[in-house]
Amino acid sequence: MWGGRFEAAPDAIMQEINASIGFDKRLYSQDIVGSKAHVAMLAAVGILTEAEAKRIAKGLDRILAEIEAGTFTFSRALEDIHMNIEARLAELIGPVAGKLHTARSRNDQVATDFRLYMRDFLDAADVALAGLQRALAEKALAHAGTVMPGFTHLQTAQPVTFGHHLLAYVEMLARDRGRLADARKRLNECPLGAAALAGTSFPIDRRMTAKALGFARPMANSLDAVSDRDFVLEPLAAAAISAMHLTRLAEEIVLWCSAQFGFVRLTDAFSTGSSIMPQKRNPDAAELVRAKLGRISGAFQGLLMVMKGLPLAYSKDMQEDKEATFDALDAFALTISAMTAMIRDLEPDEQAMRAAAAAGFSTATDLADWLVRHLGLPFREAHHVTGGIVALAEARGVGLEALDLAAMQEIEPRITREVYSVLSVERSVASRRSYGGTAPQNVRKMAKGWIKRLDRQAVRGK
């Protein structure tokens, strides 16, 4: 492919380090789509004849069919997907195939292919994350009134509802989708026509190819078009943040499935056993979701180091942009799918959750609030009084709702029997009606709102 400049073939080691076909062959459909847009433009501006363009496009369609049928032979000697397709095109249609590369370089070609690939991935990831949001929202609606302990520092803090807990992840995923959508907007510019680095002397129409490929516009600077990979880095960073959110939910599923918590159960479909301990039911899918973040964040850091300090424009270092990225994006997609399936699969043990919520003096804040509302105590004083009552209940080995009134009055004589109206976990969650609070009526409204919003997004295709 190097023409007349070289007299000898590259060393076998050079071929091994230089070849990328082993991983960049997954860009075949983007490469063919980009080539067809390019050749159509070349014909439209008179650089190629209509007959030549049709012949090239027909050959590209045949190659696409061969690859999808599994009959295409990929050659490491041809380095990458671009040269593999071009070489096969020459076999099919002869020397006219060489005209396809007029007014472009592999530099702008690969940048275009990769942007198309990233755009396709982001669209698919958005749909998948919306599916996970729906699974969470539907489960939240079903358990809007299921009481569980809310934690801080992994210590029982206040009662919440299971539905409210799940909706927290719906909100996180909404921000994740927003970051991915923002990244898509920024990457949706077309490098094609930037050629190697300086543009081309041929009278091409870059706006035509950009429009044909669904880009918002052609990139404005030919050097920038071929030399940056921020369009990969930004989605990887956003994917890492999203995967981090999923690891938090995965960790909670691992904890909740344990005998020590016993909050939820996964069916056999999402549990595994032990080769030596027959009693074991391991939440391995959740554990693997938890682990996948390493690959995703590692790909981001790896590409960041590849790009660090590279002078303009293209350097071969940038061939290292794809392999880890593809692996990371695959891991992210699998993580979303696995988490969606687990959320649909798991069922909470409502009695175990309720019992845990009632333990640990979780309605102490409700008691302090009652003291403020009914006795007019400053909150800091109410906090101190409540702490004394909790200490007394703990010493007697009972919960706040089981502590007799006389005992409470030892700490604060003005407390009346009405205080018991706020000490049950059900009354506690029902009272949290402030916007964003855990009250079941709030949860039902929010869950239904999210389901409607997701329905509208699905109809609009967003």
CA distances from 252 to 150, 198, 261 (A): 12, 53, 10
Q: What are φ and ψ of residue 133, in 5° steps?
A: -60, -45
Contact by Cβ (8 Å): 281, 327:
no
Q: Does residue 274 have an active-site annotation? A: yes
CA distances from 245 to 171, 241, 411, 415, 420 (A): 11, 6, 43, 43, 38
81 membership: H or E segment, kind and range: helix 81-93
The structure tokens 């190819």 sit at 209
The structure tokens 């995967």 sit at 243
Catalytic residue among 29, 35, 38, 153: 153
Residue 217 β-bridge partners? 189
Catalytic residue among 75, 258, 274, 421: 274
Query: For the chain, how big is the Rg over CA atoms in Å?
Result: 30
Classify 189 as helix, strand or coil: strand
Contact by Cβ (8 Å): 101, 126:
no
Length of the chain as a residue count = 462
Classify 150 as helix, strand or coil: strand
Residue 182 and residue 54: Cα distance in Å, rounded?
Answer: 37
- Number of Cβ within 10 Å of residue 373's Cβ equals 11
Contact by Cβ (8 Å): 106, 80:
yes
Q: Does residue 165 have an active-site annotation? A: no
* Sequence letter at residue 91: E
Burial class (CB in 10 A: 0-12, 13-18, 19+), 95: exposed
Residue 444 and residue 350: Cα distance in Å, rounded?
Answer: 17
> Does the bond joining 313 to the residue before it have cis omega, within 30 degrees of 0?
yes
Q: Give the active site residues.
A: 153, 274
